[in-house]
Homo-oligomer: A and B are copies of this chain.
Amino acid sequence: MKGVTKLKYKKIPEATIRRLSRYSRSLEEMEGKGEKVVSSALLAKKCAVNAAQVRKDLAYFGEFGIRGVGYYVEDLLNNIKKILGSNKEWKMAVIGIGNLGAALLSYKDFLKQNYTIVAAFDIDPPRVIGRVSEKLGKPAEVIHINRIKEVARERKIDIGVIATPPSEAQSVANLLVEAGVRGILNFAPAQVTVPAGFVVKDVFFTTILDNLAYLLSTETGYSIDRK
């Protein structure tokens, strides 16, 4: 309130952010194919939304397209990436190398985006190392969780991915906070709390299933996500 000089930014709804991420992926494909321009209708079709929604979403950050042409693929992609913060490289660590942790380590789609896993932590590295090196097909390294603060700083980790059992989630989150890792992606089905300035994004499979069950129980048969 007093003397705030930071730029204000327009708050973009979460659903828009999710769609921007979809648009970004489609635009990348188009760019890869050498396509220069795209109409809102075509972009909408590729992303399974309607064209009016595309125009509305892009208008949030002042992209209005060019009449009779549409959008320039490269410019639009760059602008969306800037908005999403996905134009910079994000360094991630996975904590807890069970099935899910191993799945995340070998998830190839991260590489297409600017997300890189730079470290893997577990409470028992010797026990889990086989699982990881088998999947990744290269000598992999799993670091003891005790070293997380030191390694997080050395490797400039931005995002910690919690893939531990729920009972360990909060203590891992605390370690990440102490290490100055500002972003947490939490797959452990447990609520974790962090101080102001840190961000937690939960991925609870049962919450997602509850959402699907709700959609199946209603009679629309549409995915809210796609609207």
Interface residues of A (CB under 8 A from B): 6, 9, 12, 14-15, 17-18, 20-22, 24-25, 46-48, 83-86, 88, 90, 98-100, 102-104, 106-107, 109-110, 112-113, 115, 135, 158-159, 166, 182-183, 185, 189, 191, 193, 196-219, 221-226
Least CB distance from A76 to B in Å reads 15
A-B contact pairs, 16 of them (CB 8 A): A14-B15, A14-B225, A18-B211, A20-B210, A24-B210, A47-B191, A99-B106, A99-B135, A112-B206, A159-B209, A183-B213, A199-B212, A199-B221, A201-B211, A201-B225, A203-B203
Docked Cα-Cα span, A42 to B11, in Å, equals: 29
When distances are taken between beta carbons in the complex, the residues of chain B under 8 Å from A222 are 196, 199
When distances are taken between beta carbons in the complex, the residues of chain B under 8 Å from A205 are 104, 107, 109-110, 203
- Pairs of residues from A and B, 9 with the lowest C-beta to C-beta distance, nearest first: A85-B217, A99-B103, A21-B210, A100-B103, A85-B213, A197-B221, A109-B189, A21-B207, A201-B212
Question: Are A211 and B109 in contact (CB-based, < 8 A)?
Answer: no
A214: contacting residue among B83, B214, B221, CB under 8 A:
B83
When distances are taken between beta carbons in the complex, the residues of chain B under 8 Å from A98 are 103
When distances are taken between beta carbons in the complex, the residues of chain B under 8 Å from A207 are 18, 21-22
Q: Take A18-B207, A90-B209, A205-B109 as given contacts and tell me if A48 and B193 are in contact as well, using a CB distance cutoff of 8 Å.
A: yes
Docked Cα-Cα span, A85 to B14, in Å, equals: 24
Most chain B beta carbons < 10 A, residue from A102, A107, A109, A212: A212
Docked Cα-Cα span, A190 to B86, in Å, equals: 19
- Which residue of chain B has its CB nearest to the CB of A101? B103
- Which residue of chain B has its CB nearest to the CB of A22? B207
Least CB distance from A122 to B in Å reads 15
Most chain B beta carbons < 10 A, residue from A20, A25, A88: A25
Task: Give 16 A-B pairs besides A88-B213, A110-B206, A185-B212 with Cβ atoms closer than 8 angstroms.
Answer: A14-B15, A14-B211, A17-B210, A17-B211, A46-B191, A83-B214, A84-B214, A85-B214, A90-B213, A99-B100, A112-B206, A113-B209, A182-B216, A183-B212, A185-B208, A203-B205
